[in-house]
DNA sequence: CGAAATCTTGAGTATAATCAAAAACGGTGG
DNA sequence: CCACCGTTTTTGATTATACTCAAGATTTCG
């Protein structure tokens, strides 16, 4: 089943629109991108390390993570993916995946054949640049995470990640002014932060005690955005957002 | 002064040739890429975080590193760049640099105007794909480093990095069978590994004591490649090398 | 309601950091 | 060629951040 989404429902189109104004041709081509939509349960691998997929997946709803596993079986989550992301777009140019992607919540994803992506890139250079740009932003986020994991202590590191997630969620319209839904367990946070669950738990308690965050269930609330940004040494520049979603 | 390099001297051309066979047109276009060649001393910033360069730099000889600095002034090196790399190629699509690049040794670099890069990408889609691919491999290396920093203990982490550097140096013809020149100080290694100099020093001593590495001056020698790979849990897949430079 | 997953707490430990200083190295100039 | 100076490497002693192990509380969801 290859479905077409209204462009307002297609987070890829919305994302490209935030970078430049689409021509009618470009928009039509994007709307006609073949996309096989799948609903995937919690905690399922979408792709695995070593795979050579012939399509890339656009997250339509839900959360996924990109991860690697060491020889000793330890997992490092290298990114959280939210609606609008294409976490395995790299497979368009790299034959073998060097990471897995797994759902953190029930997801709707759209699989787009590489053939179709190559075709649209060849025909519409601005779309090609836009997609390239998305992969460059992923890399920028990797750099920031590396800096956090390597050089920021746990308290700052966690505050920083929470800032990033909130800003990215805002940018795709999935967060209110100062809160959003994050279906991420403390174990998953710890794998993303290079810490243990126990330590993440203790630091989260400290963040709560310091009034920087509140949480009920999966809902994260930030009573004082400036204070959290400060605590996390957070500067959203590396996210390369076009609009000033970041400031809010 | 805009110079032209013989294609055999141009590491970018050599790199693209390893991915696909260049047509005469493509080769000519690459040879005619305007490139301002500069010789840069040790320990100089080529670009700084926050810059908006209008050109990208191709490393012709020498070593550079890409780095970020935290609010507390701690440095994280997020990649080592060797000849053939274009460490700020991202600036082609991202206006503001989110990292600095600095020389680790005296370098020759070629500055290529973005305009020229955009032009060649528009005219030659395979070159565009090849350059895009290079940035995707950078990202793959980021993922691997994140995994090392987050989830591998120091001994493995250092062995892993040494493996990576040797393999990459081999791939561009700058390493012999089991040794190469690495003008990287222990302080620089520690900033790349998320460790302190003191600890890097101690672990390097352990690696030497275990017969995994030898070093005289800046020369690194690996007496038993398989043993080092094993110690570093090293699998070169993430480097996405085309030829089997890795196996050697 | 009950089992599984997730979160929380406590006690003891280890890897790696910090601080401080000495030794070795590398390049420069007399 | 050697003395000298700055950088880099090495060593020692102490500390701290974060880990491990283990078990109990709470939440989630079928």
Nucleotides on chain C within 7 angstroms of protein Cβ: 5-11, 15-20, 25-26
Q: Which of residues 187-206 of A touch strand C (CB under 7 A)?
A: 187, 197-198, 201-202, 204-205
Q: Which of B133, B142, B238 sits opposite A146 (nearest CB)?
A: B142
Write the burial class of residue B85 (CB in 10 Å: 0-12 exposed, 13-18 middle, 19+ buried): buried
Identify the band that residue B241 occupies on the pLDDT scale cut at 50, 70 and 90.
very high
* HEC secondary structure over B75-119: EEEEEEECCCCCCCHHHHCCCCCCCEEEECCCEEEEEEEHHHHHH
Rounded Cα distance between A171 and A52, Å, is: 31
Report pTM: 0.96
Residue A32: both structure tokens together = 């006609």
Q: Which nucleotides of D are covered by protein (CB under 7 A)?
A: 7-13, 17-22, 27-28
Of the pLDDT bands very low, low, confident and very high (cuts 50, 70, 90), residue B3 is: low
For residue A203 the two structure tokens come to: 């630091």
Cβ-based contacts of B125 with chain A (< 8 Å): 121-122
Flag whether pLDDT at B248 surpasses 60. no
Q: What would the mean pLDDT of A145-154 be, rounded to a whole number? A: 98
pLDDT in tens, B101-132: 999 999 999 999 999 999 999 999 999 999 99
The reply to whether residue B147 touches residue A122, judged by beta carbons under 8 angstroms, is no
**Do A96 and B136 lie within an 8 Å CB cutoff?**
no
Q: Max CA-CA distance within chain B?
A: 54
- CA/C1' separation A142–C3 (Å): 38
**Test mutation, A89, A98, A144, A164, chain B, max B CBs within 10 A:** A98
- pLDDT in the model for residue B9: 81
pLDDT, one tens digit per residue, over A86-103 is 999 999 999 999 999 999
Closest residue in chain A to residue B136, using alpha carbons only = A90
Chain A residues inside the 8 Å CB shell of B238: 98
Catalogue all structural domains in chain A, each as residue range(s) with its CATH number: 11-142 (2.60.120.10), 152-239 (1.10.10.10)
Give how far A127 is from chain B: nearest CA, Å: 12
Q: Which residue is nearest to nucleotide C25 (CA to C1')?
A: B217
Residues of A in contact with B138 (CB under 8 A): 139
Mean pLDDT for A12-30 is: 96
Identify the burial level of B108 via C-beta atoms within 10 angstroms of its C-beta, where 0-12 means exposed, 13-18 middle and 19 or more buried. Answer: middle
Specify the residue for token string 């590994």.
B193
CB of B142 within 8 Å of any CB in chain A? yes
B-chain residue closest to A195, CA distance: B150
The sign of the CA dihedral A236, A239, A240, A246 is negative
Q: Is A181 touching B (CB cutoff 8 A)?
A: no
């Amino acid at each position: 089943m290859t479905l077409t989404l209204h462009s307002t429902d297609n987070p890829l189109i919305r994302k490209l629109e935030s970078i430049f104004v689409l021509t009618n041709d470009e928009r039509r081509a994007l709307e006609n991108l073949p996309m096989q939509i799948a609903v995937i349960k919690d905690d399922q691998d979408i792709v695995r390390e070593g795979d050579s997929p012939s399509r890339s997946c656009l997250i339509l709803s839900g959360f996924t993570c990109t991860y690697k596993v060491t020889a000793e079986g330890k997992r490092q989550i290298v990114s959280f993916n939210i609606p609008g992301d294409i976490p395995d777009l790299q497979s368009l140019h790299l034959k073998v995946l060097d990471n897995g992607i797994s759902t953190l919540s029930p997801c709707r994803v759209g699989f787009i054949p590489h053939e179709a992506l190559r075709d649209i890139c060849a025909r519409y250079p601005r779309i090609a640049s836009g997609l390239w740009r998305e992969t460059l932003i992923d890399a920028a986020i990797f750099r920031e995470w590396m800096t956090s994991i390597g050089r920021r202590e746990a308290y700052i590191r966690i505050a920083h990640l929470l800032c990033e997630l909130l800003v990215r969620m805002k940018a795709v319209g999935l967060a209110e002014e100062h809160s959003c839904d994050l279906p991420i367990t403390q174990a998953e946070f710890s794998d993303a932060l290079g810490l243990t669950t126990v330590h993440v738990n203790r630091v989260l308690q400290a963040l709560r005690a310091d009034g920087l965050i509140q949480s009920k269930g999966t809902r994260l609330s930030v009573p004082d955005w400036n204070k959290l940004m400060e605590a996390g040494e957070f500067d959203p520049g590396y996210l390369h957002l076009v609009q000033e979603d970041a400031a809010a």
